[in-house]
A and B are shown apart, each in its own frame.
Chain A
Amino acid sequence: MRFVPFVLVAVSLAAVADTRRSGFDDMSPATQAMQRDDEQNPALLWLKDGEQRFAADCARCHAPASMRGVAVRYPAFDNVLARPVTLAERINLCRTRQMKAAPLAPESAPLLALEMVVANASRGLPIAPPDDARLGPFRERGRELFFRRQGQLDFSCAQCHDQHPGGRLAGSPIPQGHPTGYPIYRLEWQDVGSLQRRLRNCMSGVRALPFDYGAPEFVALELYLMQRAAGMALETPAVRP
């Protein structure tokens, strides 16, 4: 129950003045234009791929329109596994439980494409973490990880993204680190990637050993980050530098 006062504080602060900024606000006008205009956004290639995959595999049960509002509440609690699952994990659970198909490899193009279709259906909706008490301990664990120093450089997430957003790290602007547009097309990767890929990137940046894809630590961090960004609009598919 320790997270409850924290949530109340976050809500009351938001009511006063929301100083949170999406990474979009700190990008160059050229990169912003790339995201704004679907005809220029390279992520559209993955989105079209995902739409075809969705029509072939998922549409038997799910109407595409019914996916609106789904991505903004993940990670969510899974009753069978008795732990929170990310959106990517949920897609794979759907494949193994309902379709009796093999799960897609983490961070593989087909999985990212499906994730993008589901997230794109919620484009423009405010991030809305579920009000589920069972998520509390996991979210608290994520908060703990966010503030814990790690790696040879001995940095925590909070030192950059809470204390020095707007500054620069090795010439690159430090954003506030809100997961508003995943999966993103990242120009540095020249590819589409998930939030966990981005987190692994940050971890190797501070010379820590990154957690594996799907690690419980990452799910906990995702939970905390989505809570931290609650109310901000989802931008998927976002472009980031």
Chain B
Amino acid sequence: MTRAIVFAPKSARRGDVIEIRATIQHPMETGYRWDGKGGLVGRDIVSRLECRYEGELVFAVDLWQAIAANPMVSFFTIATTSGTLELKWTGDHGFAHTETAALTVE
């Protein structure tokens, strides 16, 4: 089971810059390592994280093999309206995981 943790403020004032931190449990297997039998271990990484704020894309990052396992990403956005932050990770072998966080803007 995939596990992810998102830290985001529950509430903010309009115009505030807010920080969002997201960590996901994932091996980030590079595809460059050898297994015990002399074969390559297949690549298995999270390749993209997107954050949508009330449906609008506010942040996206492409991840590559050089990123360590269980990657944590921290980014900022401006609180404009009360709504939902939706974080979606996608990766190899059809990997997809979504977490949401509710934000109240006064």
Which A residues fall within an 8 A CB radius of B? 39-40, 42, 44-45, 48-49, 187, 190-191
Contacts and interface: CB of A to CB of B under 8 A. Distances in A.
Contacts of B7: 39
A56 to B, nearest CB: 13
Contacts of B17: none
Given A42-B23, A45-B3, A187-B68, 20 more contacts: A39-B7, A39-B21, A40-B21, A40-B72, A42-B70, A42-B72, A44-B5, A44-B23, A45-B4, A45-B5, A45-B23, A45-B25, A45-B70, A48-B3, A48-B5, A49-B3, A190-B27, A190-B68, A190-B70, A191-B69
A117 to B, nearest CB: 14
Interface of B: 3-5, 7, 21, 23, 25, 27-28, 68-70, 72
A183 to B, nearest CB: 15
7 contacts: A39-B21, A44-B5, A44-B23, A45-B3, A187-B68, A190-B70, A191-B69
Nearest to B28: A190
Contacts of A45: 3-5, 23, 25, 70
Q: Give the most central of B21, B25, B27: most A CB within 10 Å.
A: B25
Contacts of B27: 190
A49 B23 CA distance: 14
B99 to A, nearest CB: 12
Q: Give the most central of B7, B69, B70: most A CB within 10 Å.
A: B70
Give the 9 A-B residue pairs with the shortest CB-CB distance, closest first: A190-B69, A42-B70, A45-B25, A39-B7, A39-B21, A45-B3, A190-B68, A44-B5, A49-B3
Nearest to A42: B70
